[in-house]
Amino acid sequence: MSKQNRRSFLKTVGLGTAAATAATYAPFAIGGSGKRVVVVGGGMGGAVAAKYIRMMDKSIDVTLIEANKDYFTGFTSNLVISGQRSLDSIKFGYDGLRGHGVNVVIDKVTDIDANAKSVKTASGQSFAYDRCIVAPGIDFRYDKIDGFNEGVANSKITHAWKAGSQTTMLRDQVHSMKKGGTVVISAPPNPFRCPPGPYERTSQIASYLKQHNPTAKILVLDDKEKFSKFGLFTGGWKKHYGYGTDNSMIEWVKGSAGGKIESLDVGGMTVSGDVDDYKGDVINIIPAQKAGHIAHVAGLTNASGWCPIEGKTFESTIHKNIHVVGDAAIQSPLPKSGYAANSEGKVCAAAVVALLNGQSAPDPSYVNTCYSVIAPGDGISVAMVYAYKDGKIVKIKGSGGLTPSKTFNVKLREREEHYGYSWFDNITNDTFG
Amino acid sequence: MIRKTIIKSTLLVAGFALGMQAQAAPSAEMLSYTCAGCHGTNGASTGDAIPSLAGLSSTYLVDAMKAYKADERDPTIMNRIAKGYSDEQFELMGGFFADQEVHKNRDQSFDAAKAAAGKKLHKKYCDKCHTEAGTVGDDDAGQLSGNAKLFLQYSLADFHDGSRSQEKKMKKKMKKMLKRDKDAFDLIVNYYVSGKK
């Protein structure tokens, strides 16, 4: 924060509290005395929370523990599948966070002890915290589809819903598919990470096939009856990929029409629901989801498989002094998106800074923005502004919504594609830079 | 003037807190942090289509947000986002971004010869209002030098075709500039993208 020091930040971010006096933060020595934060998980929510805590208050000791030395963004990974981008372009390391004075530890967290306020890792290290921020992202419910498991996903049938080697595996399968072959995509039930993602993936694969394998087909088998940006996607598919005609490259089957998948036969390259069997030359199954593994180990989840939180601070309603941000949290009406995780990470960071300084958590403000690319020159978006009211996160009436689609505005759609690419540059820099 | 705005709105917020217990009143920082995901940390954009907000004058930013809110500017995502805030909240964000250093995106490519020609055009037609190549927030004009390339192109195109309104004197200057050189937009954009003064 240029032109502004920490003190003026604390004063302004803690508006409305009488406690924002010098006495609340003067006596603490640097680190070790009641101002230690451990962040578990270095994805979109965790990394931005760690960075912003350090931006707001350099006297707080922040350790971020992440299992992988690099992070691949889920958003924009569909453009790697279509070959528009390289995998390297969605890869981010943690040197930026180190530059903010975050202690980055590459290790796997194996346990969080809420009573002892301590985090343990696979290599045997132990980290004490005053407040812990858990941002583990998602895990898959492989058991919902007979015959599908992690081993199958790693060898033949991708989920490609955590980016990295899965992304390039699906890309290579699509690019080497026989002429006129069929890509089957199974889309998951709600709630799941990145609601428009399966449909942008469909669009990006169609964009590739239209150029390189124009007689190929994409069959989208959906657990649901409708999906995010439905009108914009299906409208775009009509415009670019013949959707709705006999010659359509894309067919979408809703849940009640047989789209719900129950089993996978890997050898036969077939998925089955209770109505039909579907054969594919490439099969991509995006499974049903739940909070990331460590959230379950730490007892932060409820019966839904996700983590209940308080929306002003993102503190767990199960364990005190532990906050959960990003896809793992029950943050509705905020979606499980990268931008929402970014917004949540900052609200949580401000709350943690205030609480560690003896103040009450400041009033939050949250935003979601999300771009998808249907075809070259055709970008679409959705946005929403949220506030905290009467103990809940609420949408601000009259704000947000979708790209206007009454008429196909060429100028707007071209610009939205480029705004989407800038969005990518800035959100990744805001998180990891 | 900017600092005054902050103090004024702080008092306003404090008043709210005393008067109405449940009224949520996010601070300038809290509001402005939500912009950073798209516009860069503290409004310093690294993208080539989304503009920087850092260092803009409060007046400029508040006017832009009001125009978006009223659908007076082309329907980008900003029209939908601006409707989520009150005018008082625009003021808070305006104060926050005015307090940041102007950011120049140096990662964009440009043609040096065009930039040199663009510099001459800028000096003749734009410099009076957009002082120091449009890097001084206090002139209440938009940032030009070092701003996002596509954003500069979009803005010029929108001013030119009337989809974004402009002040009379700017319209006149723009007309004169295009009369002198029909490629003027391309030249001045290259100059701005060069980041030079």
Contact B80 A383 (CB under 8 A): yes
Q: Does B61 touch chain A (CB under 8 A)?
A: no
| Mean of the per-residue pLDDT values of chain A | 93
pLDDT tens for each residue of A221-239: 999 999 999 999 999 999 9
In the predicted model, what is the mean pLDDT of residues A358-369?
A: 98
Q: Which of B46, B76, B80 sits opposite A415 (nearest CB)?
A: B76
Q: Is the separation of the CB atoms in A76 and A90 below 8 Å? A: yes
CB-nearest to B22 from A390, A418, A422 is A390
Residue A43 to chain B, least CA–CA distance (Å): 14
Output the pLDDT for position A19. 38
Is the residue at A93 inside a domain? no
Chain B CA closest to residue A10: B29
Range of the domain at A204: 141-289
Among B38, B68, B155, pick the best mutation site for testing chain A contact (most A Cβ within 10 A).
Answer: B38
A13, A381, A398: residue with CB nearest B27 = A13
As a whole number, mean pLDDT of residues A193-199 equals: 98
Assigned CATH for B112-194? 1.10.760.10
User: At A318, which CATH number?
Assistant: 3.50.50.60
CB contact under 8 A, B46 and A13: no
Between residues B7 and A269, which one has the greater pLDDT? A269
Question: Averaged over A111-116, what is the pLDDT?
Answer: 98
Q: Does residue A72 sit within a domain?
A: no
pLDDT at B1 over 90: no
What confidence score (pLDDT) does residue A80 get?
98
**Which element (helix H / strand E) includes B7?**
helix B2-19
**A252 and A296 co-located in one domain:** no
Q: Which of B13, B41, B74 sits opposite A433 (nearest CB)?
A: B41
* pLDDT score at B90: 98
**Measured between CA atoms, how close is A344 to chain B, in angstroms?**
9
Cross-chain residue pair B80–A399, CB shorter than 8 Å: yes
Q: Are residues A122 and A195 located together in one domain of the fold?
A: no
The pLDDT value given to residue A349: 98
Residues A211 and A342 grouped into a single domain:
no
- How many angstroms separate the CA atoms of A169 and A285, rounded? 13
**What fold is seen in the domain B2-33+56-98?**
Cytochrome Bc1 Complex; Chain D, domain 2 (1.10.760)
Alpha-carbon gap: A306 to the closest alpha carbon of chain B (Å): 24
Looking at residue B2, its pLDDT comes to 44
- pLDDT above 60 for B161: yes
Among A366, A369, A387, select the one facing B38 at the smallest CB separation: A369
Nearest CA in chain B to A425: B47
Percent of chain A with pLDDT over 90: 91
The pLDDT-based confidence of A28 (bands split at 50, 70, 90) is very low
Three-class DSSP category at B132: helix
**Mutation for testing the A interface, residue in B8, B21, B23, B29 having most A CBs under 10 Å:** B29
- Alpha carbons A177 and A188: distance in angstroms, whole number: 24
Q: How confident is the model at residue A14 (pLDDT cuts 50, 70, 90)?
A: very low
- Per-residue pLDDT, B75: 78
* pLDDT for position A397: 96
Contact A363 B28 (CB under 8 A): no
Say what the pLDDT of residue A274 is.
86
Interface mutation target, options B27, B93, B164, chain A, most CBs of A under 10 Å: B27
Q: How many domains are there within chain A?
A: 2
In this model, does residue B11 exceed pLDDT 60? no
Q: Compute the average pLDDT of residues B6-32.
A: 60
Same structural domain for residues A146 and A283? Answer: yes
Nearest-CA distance A364 → chain B (Å): 6
Which pLDDT score is estimated for A155? 96
Looking at every residue in chain B, the average pLDDT score rounds to 89
d(CA A105, nearest CA chain B) in Å: 24
The average pLDDT across A244-270 equals: 97
Please check whether residues A156 and A249 belong to one and the same domain: yes
Say whether both A41 and A121 belong to one domain. Answer: yes
Of A253, A271, A289, which closes a domain?
A289
Q: Each residue of B68-123: pLDDT tens digit? A: 999 998 879 999 999 999 999 999 999 999 999 999 999 899 999 999 999 999 99
| Residue A275's pLDDT band (cuts 50, 70, 90) | confident
Q: Do A347 and B150 touch (CB under 8 A)?
A: no
Please give the pLDDT value at position B14.
43
Contacts of B22 in chain A (CB under 8 A): 389-390
Please report the pLDDT score of residue A10 as a whole number: 52
Does residue A344 sit in the same domain as residue A298?
yes
Beta carbons of B42 and A2 less than 8 Å apart:
yes
What integer pLDDT is reported at residue A414 of this predicted model? Answer: 97
Q: Which of A311, A332, A360 is the last residue of a domain?
A: A360
Residue among B10, B11, B12, B30 with most chain A CBs within 10 A, to mutate: B30
Which residues in chain B are contacts of A430 at CB distance < 8 A? Answer: 36-37, 40-41
Whether residue A96 is contained in a domain is answered as no
Same domain, A183 and A257: yes
Q: Which tens digits make up the pLDDT trace of B174-188?
A: 999 999 999 999 999
3-state secondary structure chain A: CCCCCHHHHHHHHCCCCCCCCHHHCCCCCCCCCCCEEEEECCCHHHHHHHHHHHHHCCCCEEEEEECCCCEECCCCHHHHHCCCCCHHHHEECCHHHHHCCCEEEECCEEEEECCCCEEEECCCCEEECCEEEECCCEEECHHHCECCCHHHHHHCCECCCCCCHHHHHHHHHHHCCCCCCEEEEEECCCCCCCCCHHHHHHHHHHHHHHHHCCCCEEEEEECCCCCCCHHHHHHHHHHHHCCCCCCCCEEEECHHHCCCCCEEECCCCEEECCCCEEECCEEEECCCEEECHHHHHCCCCCCCCCEEECCCCCEECCCCCEEECCCCEECCCCCCCHHHHHHHHHHHHHHHHHHHCCCCCCCCEEEEEEEEEEECCEEEEEEEEEEEECCEEEECCCCCEECCCCCCCHHHHHHHHHHHHHHHHHHHHHHHC
pLDDT band with cut points at 50, 70 and 90 for residue A396: very high
Give residue A92's pLDDT.
98
Percentage of chain A lying above the pLDDT 70 cut: 92
Residue span(s) of chain B under CATH 1.10.760.10 come to: 112-194
Which residues share a beta bridge with A146?
A263
Beta carbons of A350 and B29 less than 8 Å apart: yes
Q: Does B170 touch chain A (CB under 8 A)?
A: no
Range A259-285 average pLDDT: 96
What are the pLDDT digits (tens) for A423-432? 999 999 999 9
If you average pLDDT over residues A202-210, what whole number do you get?
98
- Verify whether the Cβ–Cβ distance A16 to B150 is below 8 Å: no
Q: Which of A307, A334, A360 is the last residue of a domain?
A: A360
Q: Would an 8 Å CB–CB cutoff place B33 in contact with chain A?
A: yes
What pLDDT is stored for residue B73 in this prediction? Answer: 87
